[in-house]
Structure 1
């Protein structure tokens, strides 16, 4: 069963990033996730970050995929990307609302419609450059998005997107489409219902709608900002004081229109608004990950693996204490927590102990360094040895070390930032141990990474990188793996609590 993930706008892109992080640590199955980004702001910082995380994932997946996925769930889910679609894909300049609707021609040939256009949109809205997105105005975004016609849309990726869904249904699969984004800004609020309706209509037209489930995550307000003093108070940009009004209007649409489209809807928001830097758009709009996006990833997981049986179900979640988030607030904790813990301990151990020793071995030479790290020669061939092992100095082995380290840094950085939300105490991991990846990580912090770890002192004292390295052996992995990939998988398995 394939699941098609559509991230709409900046928040949608951040949700996709969270989904990729959870897929990496084994919380999805082995069926492919197929991702599509939608944004009018093609250089949005949140979008760029998500695409970068996805690229890091795909490089690591290509490297380590294979083997027993039940034993080692790391990187078991393939993720394919349709990349980015913009409603302005065929319009490289003059990305203004009036240009998009041929306003001057409309006024001349159909003055009644032109006058209505004047009533609906101010002069500033008509002339605002939309290459930075829809500027927090759902009315602008909805007008643009409503012009999308999947029947006449020749440019990619929509052709492949619909074709792959059709191919899935023809082969007996029941694919799922999951849209995610905010409903309090511009792009998400306008794109979520509009794109979902277009897909719904298209699938009905080709007679496969009854074999495809459509789910949606509506992100309610969870951050806010204030415009800088030099910003025009009458300018066309998103205003956080309008978020609740935008949300109310979007939810009213769902009640009257959306229930016939979506099989399942997830609603996520937060009482405490995290403060983010004001930005109109483009690269400068890059907000840190938030724990709400962790929940978004878990919502996508539930929709894929264990969706509600009732059509039209609306799924909410709450936590025990406002302002605090603990392991007890994580849905399906028995499945989710072990994977998060395993991946975090692995990434930390790799960056604190394994990667530095591999760097030293490269600098000093394997023959000299193996006396300090005898585990090295279990995975790599020493110089002048005839052992049937990969050569440590081989370019592919060295590139693999970099790819794995890059993923570990990306994952720990994301994990750190979801713990630092304004007004909330996130009590999952002691991220102070790795919140500065530019400094030297201390291996002795490994047993203290998980908040609420109730192991006794004796067990914790045995939980050290030294003990892990003593047990390192290719045979830890089934089937036995050698070289950098075998080493990484062995470390991953040995880091399981």
Structure 2
């Protein structure tokens, strides 16, 4: 079983993985692997972006684990998403108890200033002078609890602990011959700009001492570097100033040009800032709305995985992304018809139709054959699988202040700038949901995709099964029916 390990570094890494998870849920196919293992790296334990993504990943994992048999390629929730610790059951290795059952790397000793982290006062006087040259007093006095506050020089010191951690040792020991690695980070902050080159250096090291070092040196490794795409509101009390983003980006790019040995594919994505975000240094309040750039960033992962390993290993490949049309309101017609549109257009539409049916049409068809065959009426309210599904699709039982749902994600993308607004959110009429690709009415102005049209197909698909098989049969049937509806009735895909 080939595995893709995705290291999401810092807040931007977490936000891109959030979009990646939504695309996987919609059934967008991840080629050349059977399983994705996201690993979020951020010393800010309470970072709102990270915590929201972790809750989303945990919900996806619970849903996917209850689908028996597993969904086929193209169906909703097809790709397995796993924690690093859970791989012990398939790799056969004994799990170090320090490797926790979580999607995040567990930093320790971070609730202290950098000065204390370095044991500054215990250093020889010569070493203290060197530290004073490398870091100013403000850097040394800053508490590390909420991360590095846009200072990659601080991050480069603290993140070195990753190379000797039990998590990295466990990861390397279980690394398979067909596995790959992908890094996601921003280049204009502190954690991401520092963490990505450090991780690459430690994993891709001819003289390295990690287990399975030969496999790591031979594996395809790619990275997404996110350039500035938003501004922060001015705040004199904050250590983060978005006016320095471009300067930091230029400095980091110059460093990356010389210090990314062994990287096989590097993806760049960014946009002119259109909207200012609140200036939050970290903690639970740092929770930015989903942005279109993060969706494009997630597409880089799919593109990396579609290339054969032999092609990637020949040289270093560099990629940028461009829209077919430079629209401020991005719809599916804004994407290139040869790659992005067929990759995600139909899949996201099918998933939105699925959510629309459950929100607007299932309450009026809960006694239909398809619902009776799997006892959906009662299971929808009491079954653990369906509770998690509602949580994933809608704003249901989300952590306070952390809406994790597909609906919330679409809503945030539509409210940001540039806007990603392919759907009319809240619309119950399937003919009108896809903006710019409305279905043409039939005779006597009748609906092309009517409730009865969808219901008939669900009645034919959903057969009687046991309670244990019901979630898997439910997802299979809705995936197939919505695929048939979109393929036959929605123009433009």
TM range (shorter): 0.7 to 0.9
CA contact (8 A) 1:183 1:220 kept: yes
The alpha-carbon distance between structure 1 residues 101 and 134, as it changes in their structure 2 partners (threshold 3 A), is same
Distance 1:447 1:413 in 2: 22
The alpha-carbon distance between structure 1 residues 58 and 238, as it changes in their structure 2 partners (threshold 3 A), is same
TM-score, normalised to structure 1's length? 0.81
- Aligned to 1:311, the other structure's residue is in SS state coil
CA contact (8 A) 2:4 2:182 kept: yes
Q: Deviations over 1:73-109 (max 9, x none)?
A: 11111111232225xx33164x211111111122xx2
Aligned with residue 332 of structure 1, among 337, 340, 343:
340
User: What's the counterpart of residue 383 of structure 2?
Assistant: 398
User: What's the counterpart of residue 233 of structure 2?
Assistant: 226
- Aligned to 1:64, the other structure's residue is in SS state coil
Q: Does 1:84 find its partner at 2:68? A: no
Aligned with residue 45 of structure 1, among 30, 48, 52:
48
User: What's the counterpart of residue 298 of structure 2?
Assistant: 297
- Aligned to 2:104, the other structure's residue is in SS state strand
The alpha-carbon distance between structure 1 residues 46 and 379, as it changes in their structure 2 partners (threshold 3 A), is same
- Aligned to 1:35, the other structure's residue is in SS state strand
Distance 1:315 1:26 in 2: 24
User: What's the counterpart of residue 475 of structure 1?
Assistant: 461
Question: Where does the alignment leave 5 or more consecutive residues of structure 2 unmatched?
Answer: 85-102, 395-404, 487-493
- Aligned to 2:284, the other structure's residue is in SS state helix
1:428 Cα deviation (Å)? 2.0
CA contact (8 A) 1:379 1:474 kept: no
The alpha-carbon distance between structure 1 residues 468 and 38, as it changes in their structure 2 partners (threshold 3 A), is same
- Aligned to 1:489, the other structure's residue is in SS state helix
User: What's the counterpart of residue 100 of structure 2?
Assistant: none
CA contact (8 A) 1:474 1:487 kept: no
Question: Where does the alignment leave 5 or more consecutive residues of structure 1 unmatched?
Answer: 362-369, 381-390, 434-441
User: What's the counterpart of residue 156 of structure 2?
Assistant: 142
Aligned with residue 352 of structure 1, among 342, 345, 360:
360
User: What's the counterpart of residue 199 of structure 1?
Assistant: 203
Q: Deviations over 1:271-309 (max 9, x none)?
A: 234321110101010001111111111110111122664
CA contact (8 A) 1:291 1:418 kept: yes
Distance 1:477 1:26 in 2: 22
TM-score, normalised to structure 2's length? 0.82
Q: Does 1:379 find its partner at 2:374? A: yes
CA contact (8 A) 1:351 1:408 kept: no
Give every structure 1 segment of 4 or more consecutive aligned residues whose post-TM-superposition deviation is greater than 6 Å.
394-397, 477-482
Q: Does 1:489 find its partner at 2:490? A: no
The alpha-carbon distance between structure 1 residues 335 and 124, as it changes in their structure 2 partners (threshold 3 A), is closer
Q: Does 1:321 find its partner at 2:334? A: no
CA RMSD of aligned residues (A): 2.7
CA contact (8 A) 1:179 1:217 kept: yes
The alpha-carbon distance between structure 1 residues 255 and 92, as it changes in their structure 2 partners (threshold 3 A), is closer
Distance 1:74 1:53 in 2: 15
Range with bigger deviation, 30-39 or 129-138:
30-39
Distance 1:340 1:322 in 2: 19
User: What's the counterpart of residue 424 of structure 2?
Assistant: 430
CA contact (8 A) 2:329 2:420 kept: yes
1:148 Cα deviation (Å)? 2.5
Larger Rg: 1
CA contact (8 A) 2:71 2:77 kept: no
Q: Deviations over 1:461-486 (max 9, x none)?
A: 13023321233226357999974553
Q: Does 1:98 find its partner at 2:115? A: yes
CA contact (8 A) 2:4 2:179 kept: yes
Q: Deviations over 1:402-437 (max 9, x none)?
A: 222222221122122122222x24342223x2xxxx
The alpha-carbon distance between structure 1 residues 247 and 483, as it changes in their structure 2 partners (threshold 3 A), is same
Q: Deviations over 1:212-234 (max 9, x none)?
A: 11111000001111244xx43xx
Aligned with residue 58 of structure 1, among 32, 57, 61:
61
1:314 Cα deviation (Å)? 0.9
1:395 Cα deviation (Å)? 9.5
Distance 1:488 1:175 in 2: 28
Q: Deviations over 1:372-393 (max 9, x none)?
A: x45432333xxxxxxxxxx964
